[in-house]
Amino acid sequence: MNMKHNPFFTAITALSFSAAVLGINANQSAAMTGTNATPPPTPEVAIMPIMATDASCATPYVIKKGETLAVIAKRNTGNLFDYVNIVRITNEIARTDKTFKPITNINIIQVGQKICLAKAKPVVAPVVAPVAPAPPPHWEYSGATGPAKWGDLSSEFAACKTGQEQSPIDLSKATLNDVSNIHFAYQPSKINILNNGHTIQVNYDAGSYIVVDGKRYDLLQYHFHAPSEHSINGKLVDAEVHFVHKAADGQLAVVGVLIVQGPENAFLKPVWDNLPTSEGPVRSISTLVDALDLLPPSDLSYRYNGSLTTPPCSEGVKWHVMTQSIQISAKQLKAFTDIFPISNRPIQPRNTRNLVLDVTP
């Protein structure tokens, strides 16, 4: 007979291993069971490693009728095999505390017998410092990280390369239509001016908004590009200002105003007198500006579905480019381009999009 495949041989081997772990004589571990006998673990299952425990009896326990060491261990620590620790600690305590009876056979326990429950030492989770999110990839308006490469800089910028409704576009061959006028509800705001490394941005105080087709979009900020981003019949102009709005559902709407060189623009002066020449935090100044002053007299506009003109080039942006322009002096224009020589994205394919020109004031 092959003893290795004999069930009785397997059971005796497993019990002998359990007894060795507990410091119990192998012959005793196979003795007759007494009251509330605790059957050994299934022979085919290896005994798990002993857990680290306290050296004192934090929780004395009196065995009740029908209980086994395995059941008690499972209930106490969630580990069936933690009876090994119960026996070890009980025997340690029994050396000095005679109210505990040493357990010399894991198969013989008595109702009313006092044992010491094994208590696993708490595992203190290591303190892990929060990982700061990685900064977005650096991009520029020219060179190796310029517009032609934006879509390759990050998966988050994929729309810059694969999007089908990108901005800016050439404003030509528009469909003439009578669309609802833009209702401007702008209020004065203190100057919150920011050089974000790509343009000069004026963050606007809350409370100003536009309404288009019955939907409200709150004004967040306005910023500048030079030369212009949109073109008229293939020709760019000197600069462009974008008023960025956001609706309650998250949709963006941008009003664009083209800027051509001419007399000094007094309404730009409060911002231009405080142009930050290097990238940095928002600079708040108590002087008030009114975004309404930077709008042309006519409210006619081109309308089309587009995108952000900077990474990540997100689409779904409602564009409204005013048909009339405003002016800027050569000195004012130079003050901006001295900081940002180029700050416009090239014209993007129109594809199948419809461009509408409002013809009724």
- The confidence score (pLDDT) of residue 119 equals 61
Please report, rounded to a whole number, the percentage of residues in the chain having pLDDT higher than 90. 61
Alpha carbon distance 242, 321 (integer Å): 9
- The confidence score (pLDDT) of residue 10 equals 38
State how beta strands 252-261 and 326-328 pair: parallel
Please name the amino acid found at residue 329.
Answer: S
Alpha carbon distance 167, 348 (integer Å): 6
- Whole-number mean pLDDT of the chain? 84
Global model pTM greater than 0.85: no
Is-contact 184 245, C-beta < 8 A? no
Q: Which residue has the higher pLDDT, 40 or 184?
A: 184
Q: Tokens at residue 53, please?
A: 């425990």
- The confidence score (pLDDT) of residue 79 equals 80
Confidence of residue 189 (pLDDT cuts 50, 70, 90): very high
Query: What average pLDDT score do residues 170-188 get?
Result: 96
Is-contact 224 196, C-beta < 8 A? no
Q: Is the pLDDT of residue 284 over 90?
A: yes
What distances in angstroms separate CA 25 from CA 31, 70, 105, 137, one per listed residue?
A: 10, 20, 8, 68
Predicted confidence (pLDDT) per residue in 242-273, tens digit: 999 999 999 999 999 999 999 999 999 999 99
Domains of the chain (ranges; CATH) run: 3-116 (no CATH), 161-358 (3.10.200.10)
Predicted confidence (pLDDT) per residue in 120-129, tens digit: 545 566 777 7
Alpha carbon distance 271, 221 (integer Å): 13
Number of neighbouring beta carbons within 10 Å of residue 127? 5
Predicted confidence (pLDDT) per residue in 326-345, tens digit: 999 999 999 999 999 999 99
Q: Is the pLDDT of residue 132 over 70?
A: yes
Confidence of residue 39 (pLDDT cuts 50, 70, 90): very low
Q: Is the pLDDT of residue 165 over 60?
A: yes
CB neighbour class for 200 (10 Å; exposed up to 12, middle 13-18, buried from 19): buried
Q: Closest by alpha carbon to 294, among 332, 341, 246?
A: 332
135 upstream amide cis, omega within 30 of 0: no
Number of neighbouring beta carbons within 10 Å of residue 213? 9
Alpha carbon distance 223, 255 (integer Å): 11
Q: Closest by alpha carbon to 150, among 300, 313, 298, 290?
A: 313
Sign of CA dihedral 290, 295, 297, 300: negative
- The confidence score (pLDDT) of residue 26 equals 33
CB neighbour class for 202 (10 Å; exposed up to 12, middle 13-18, buried from 19): buried
State how beta strands 215-225 and 239-246 pair: antiparallel
Q: Closest by alpha carbon to 84, among 17, 31, 35, 27?
A: 17
Lowest mean pLDDT among 90-99, 128-137, 272-281, 302-311: 128-137
Predicted confidence (pLDDT) per residue in 50-106, tens digit: 343 444 677 888 989 888 888 888 888 878 777 888 888 888 888 888 888 888 887
Predicted confidence (pLDDT) per residue in 191-219, tens digit: 999 999 999 999 999 999 999 999 999 99
